[in-house]
Amino acid sequence: MIQIIDLHKSFGSNKVLQGVSLDVKKGETLVIIGQSGSGKSVLIKHLIGLIKPDKGKIIVDGIDITQLREDELYKARRKFGMIFQSAALFDSMTVAQNVSFGLERYSKMSQKEIRKRVAESLAMVGLRGIENLLPHELSGGMKKRVGLARAISYGPEIILYDEPSTGIDPIRADAINELIIRMKKEINVTSIVITHDMVSSYKVADRIAMLYQGKIIETGTPEAIKKSNNQIVQQFIHGSAEGPIENW
């Protein structure tokens, strides 16, 4: 469904991605792990065209999105839903306005249908009766869930999760993990999760890929990753300060 081919991206002299290649199959949950600052967010932002690569291709359902014109890119983005690290809710809008943002603009649904879809999307992430609250009235975990409700409300085929468990307590983080699994089961979406939280990774992943020094150095099922012979992977998944990874 998604093919990333030899992706390169630099910011000034900082080479962030140096030939990333990766395949994501339809309906699978791929977790990309890596150190903070390793370029995971940069990689995920390439997928929806927020960042243009210096070199390389991103093929989504047979279309190279790096070659799309801007208006085509806006349409292509509607295939994706993205959950941001900071939730990125529009802080001047209520929860309902946030969740209905995509529907209001790009669907032909009536106001009644939109209200129903908003309530359904919120219910799916375990939130009810908060439609009229503003983002600053929500906890960190609730914000992430509203972000997810916003992303699923218009029925995307692919959901991108940017550090979904960062900044929330372990119980709420696990609730988010459960939601990621539920989204896959109930609406059969393809998911790409970027994180450095190994507990989450093992729980939600069909496959895990590790990004290190601008390249994918290992890909495999959670079990295969646990048994990897790569010392860098082993150091990272065990969270050890001792090992071949020196820049931390």
Partner 1 sequence: MRYQKVPLLFYDFFQGMGEVGLLFSRTIKNIFKKPLEKDIFLQQVEEIGVRSLPVVSMTAAFGGLVFGLQTYIGFHRYVGPGSEAYGGPIISLGLSKELIPLLVGLMVSGRVGSAIAAEIGTMKITEQIDALFSLGADPNKYLVVPRMVAAFLVLPCLTLYGDVIGMIGGFFYNVVVMGVNKVIYIKNTLLYFELWDITTGLIKAAIFGIVIAIIGCWQGLKAEGGAAGVGRATTRAVVIANIMILILNFFLSKALPASLGG
Stretch that binds partner 1, among 26-34, 75-83, 210-218, 226-234 (CB under 8 A): 75-83
Per CB under 8 A, the list member of 69, 105, 128, 185 interacting with partner 1 is: 105
Quick note: the x/- pattern for partner 1 over 148-167, rule CB under 8 A, is --xx--------x-------
- Does 85 engage in binding with partner 1 (CB under 8 A)? yes
Radius of gyration of the chain, Cα coordinates, nearest whole angstrom: 18
Q: What SS3 class is residue 111?
A: helix
Alpha-carbon span 77 to 75, nearest angstrom: 5
A 10 A CB-CB count for 131 gives: 17
- Does 196 engage in binding with partner 1 (CB under 8 A)? no
Per CB under 8 A, the list member of 26, 90, 227, 240 interacting with partner 1 is: 90
Alpha-carbon span 213 to 233, nearest angstrom: 12
- Does 88 engage in binding with partner 1 (CB under 8 A)? yes
Residue nearer to partner 1 on the CB measure, 160 or 208: 160
- Does 50 engage in binding with partner 1 (CB under 8 A)? yes
Alpha carbon distances (Å) from 29 to 131, 152, 233: 29, 16, 19
Structure tokens at 231: 């010392």
35 in Cβ contact with 248 (< 8 Å): yes
Alpha-carbon span 195 to 121, nearest angstrom: 24
Q: What SS3 class is residue 18?
A: strand
Stretch that binds partner 1, among 14-22, 58-66, 88-96, 180-188 (CB under 8 A): 88-96
- Does 142 engage in binding with partner 1 (CB under 8 A)? no
Tell the smallest beta-carbon distance from residue 218 to partner 1 (Å): 28
According to DSSP, the residues that pair with 163 across neighbouring strands are: none
- Does 57 engage in binding with partner 1 (CB under 8 A)? no
Tell the smallest beta-carbon distance from residue 204 to partner 1 (Å): 20
Structure tokens at 51: 């960042």
- Does 75 engage in binding with partner 1 (CB under 8 A)? yes
Contact positions vs partner 1 (CB under 8 A): 45, 48-50, 70, 74-75, 77-78, 80-82, 84-86, 88-91, 101-102, 105-106, 150-151, 160
